[in-house]
Chain A
Amino acid sequence: MSTSSAESSPAVSGLDYDDTALTLALPGSSTDPAGADRKRAAHAAYDMPPSSKARAVGWPPVRAYRRNALREDAKLVKVAVDGAPYLRKVDLAAHDGYADLLCALHGMFASCLAIRRGADDGTKLVDSVTDAEYVPTYEDKDGDWMLVGDVPWKMFEESCKRIRLMKSSEAVNLSPRQSSK
């Protein structure tokens, strides 16, 4: 639920002011020291520092089987397609290479994308109606947008934060190992 802070300064949304800003933000949100005090008072009998709450064994109560099945180390990244109004998520850890990933991306947007084999034997994603080509790009840890496929798979898997299928006409400005912002 949204919190309203009638008297907080506009800059409080920045992270630096949290400790000192007076705010009427609703208690229970992490930026409200007064609320945290109230909580602690209620638990005077046993005091649990927040960090240990976050790491309590067996909490949340989800069966080990389910935790393992959902692969807590799953690398879920958002996938956007230029022109499509929704986002999808893909689990990078579930794929073992670029070909596999491309297949999965195609599957996600199969209503508007098709796979075509290019002249250079590479597979491409194209708009099934206009045949316009889509180029998979990704944002890496440093915030740079790169072409998917340039680095070894493992390196990509570790540094990819999100994926965007860009129309190739727009992607010409983007070349490997160069950032564009």
Chain B
Amino acid sequence: MTYFPEEVVEHIFSFLPAQRDRNTVSLVCKVWYEIERLSRRSVFVGNCYAVRAERVALRFPNVRALTVKGKPHFADFNLVPPDWGGYAGPWIEAAARGCVGLEELRMKRMVVSDESLELLSRSFPRFRALVLISCEGFSTDGLAAIASHCKLLSELDLQENEVEDRGPRWLSCFPDSCTSLVSLNFACIKGEVNAGSLERLVSRSPNLRSLRLNRSVSVDTLAKILMRTPNLEDLGTGNLTDDFQTESYFRLTSALEKCKMLRSLSGFWDASPVCLSFIYPLCAQLTGLNLSYAPTLDASDLTKMISRCVKLQRLWVLDCISDKGLQVVASSCKDLQELRVFPSDFYVAGYSAVTEEGLVAISLGCPKLNSLLYFCHQMTNAALITVAKNCPNFTRFRLCILEPGKPDVMTNQPLDEGFGAIVRECKGLRRLSISGLLTDKVFMYIGKYAKQLEMLSIAFAGDSDKGMMHVMNGCKNLRKLEIRDSPFGDAALLGNVAKYETMRSLWMSSCNVTLKGCQVLASKMPMLNIEVINEWDGSNEMEENHGELPKVEKLYVYRTTAGARDDAPNFVKIL
């Protein structure tokens, strides 16, 4: 193929959008490397410290869509100290210097400053889409810059970010000439927005398909907005707590009736049961529903609504729904693919209305289920075995039994057999989180059967290093392994060092790994960064260990071509 003109080769490559394929073809020869890198339109960086930003910008100057992820997943649960890192600045600066055609930027778990957002808004004339997920470090002033200067903005999607509120003016910064919005999500913004500005913005956005409002938006404003957006496909409501006799609710109903394209609903902040009846006419057409921020809705409210949602594919709900409610879901929502049941009570020894019975009911009624996140207080092996048989299509299975180390509630046995059944039956399983009482046996099953597994989360599980070894040796496609409070030590850490080169990262916290073990790993594997994170002074730890080697509190290991990072805080030691 080397005698084809470049344009032809490039055209052939355009049929390979997947990054893995593009990476592969770029290894064939220098010519292909060059053609590929100059025609690469989309780059995904799973760990911002795996490669230098400048190097990415140099290699792919014509990139249009860039995705970068920062902190490890356990940062979501406050296990990564603040100021650990994950700064967006270097990425935006490097792109501003070398990739001026950038149109889309997606960032997850990164620290983004207002200055970076300002730079972003001024550096890329064709910039259209900004997606920030679980980020922090910026304020509504940064959003004002984006609104003001990104003339072609079509997507501003802010998901679950920590944003400092500096007033409502940011929304008014969209110029009158901005008519290109397709997707606007500001649900995580805590403060008020100007209702008039919002209504005018929506009025001049004929292509708006997805709109997620924040808690401050009233029913009145929502009704007015919906009159202007008959083509809306995805809606996140504002608060639904107004006095129900007002005009607004009747206007809301008639506006909703016009939204024939609406498929997905979320928001429902502090929703009162009466609000739901205004939504009933929509239910039959919904494919996505998120009611997980409405703790005052009880099982009967939820089931009255969900039983009408016969086309539902994705449901997020609180455990208030109860087992009985899940039975209603199972009998009504035959197309269900994704279910998330969140805890309404975080107290570990508390009570939940969902048990293993609800999960079994779902598995019986919803054979298409492929993605599950389920918080509960009890589980049995028998239930998990049944679920595995009924739903062999799981690609994501995350079960969280709130009490650490809790056994099968009927037999008092570990839950090894139950999870073993899941990994054995669900041959396409890519993501797994396990909980409850678990011995090394469950890891033997995981290593033996979970051949497609890419991400595994372990907490309070296992008996010995053998457990972790089963996983490291058996799971051929493992990319991310995160472990907390489990008895794995240096032997497990060092048992298969070559494996880390094939993985994105390893996280271990409150395990039995010592500093010595980490140092050995660092010396054997120079292409890894070994980050030892100790928030507290280690000296009192040594007393407790009676002279043993100090245990490493938190360990983060990742492959990198960038060497040790230079932005690490003083509580992070990179070996």
Contact = CB atoms under 8 A, between A and B. Distances in A.
Interface of A: 1, 26-28, 30, 35, 38-39, 42-43, 45-46, 48, 53-54, 56-67, 69-70, 72, 74, 76, 86-91, 94, 103-104, 106-108, 110-111, 115
Contacts of B375: 60, 62
Contacts of B400: 60-61
Interface in B235-258: 241, 243-245
B403 interface: yes
B348 A48 contact: no
B412 A60 contact: no
B459 A39 contact: no
Interface string B262-299: 00000000101110000000000000000011011010
A107 B297 CA distance: 12
Given A53-B348, A54-B348, A89 B296 contact: yes
Given A88-B298, A107-B241, A58 B405 contact: no
Nearest to B489: A45
B25 interface: no
Contact of B343 (A48, A62, A86): A62
A88 B274 CA distance: 12
Given A1-B410, A26-B410, A58-B78, A86 B298 contact: yes
Given A63-B160, A107-B272, A70 B463 contact: no
A57 B457 CA distance: 16
Nearest to B464: A45
Contacts of A63: 76-77, 134, 160
B409 A28 contact: yes
28 contacts: A1-B378, A1-B410, A26-B410, A38-B407, A38-B412, A43-B405, A48-B404, A48-B405, A53-B403, A53-B460, A57-B77, A58-B74, A59-B404, A60-B375, A60-B400, A61-B400, A61-B433, A62-B343, A65-B160, A66-B160, A70-B295, A70-B344, A76-B295, A90-B296, A94-B241, A107-B241, A107-B243, A107-B244
Give the interface size bracket for B toward A. 35 or more
Contacts of A72: 346
B347 interface: yes
Contacts of B161: 65
A65 B134 contact: yes
Given A53-B348, A86-B300, A94 B274 contact: no
Given A26-B412, A38-B407, A61-B457, 13 more contacts: A28-B412, A39-B405, A42-B414, A60-B348, A60-B400, A60-B402, A63-B160, A65-B188, A89-B298, A104-B241, A106-B243, A107-B272, A108-B296
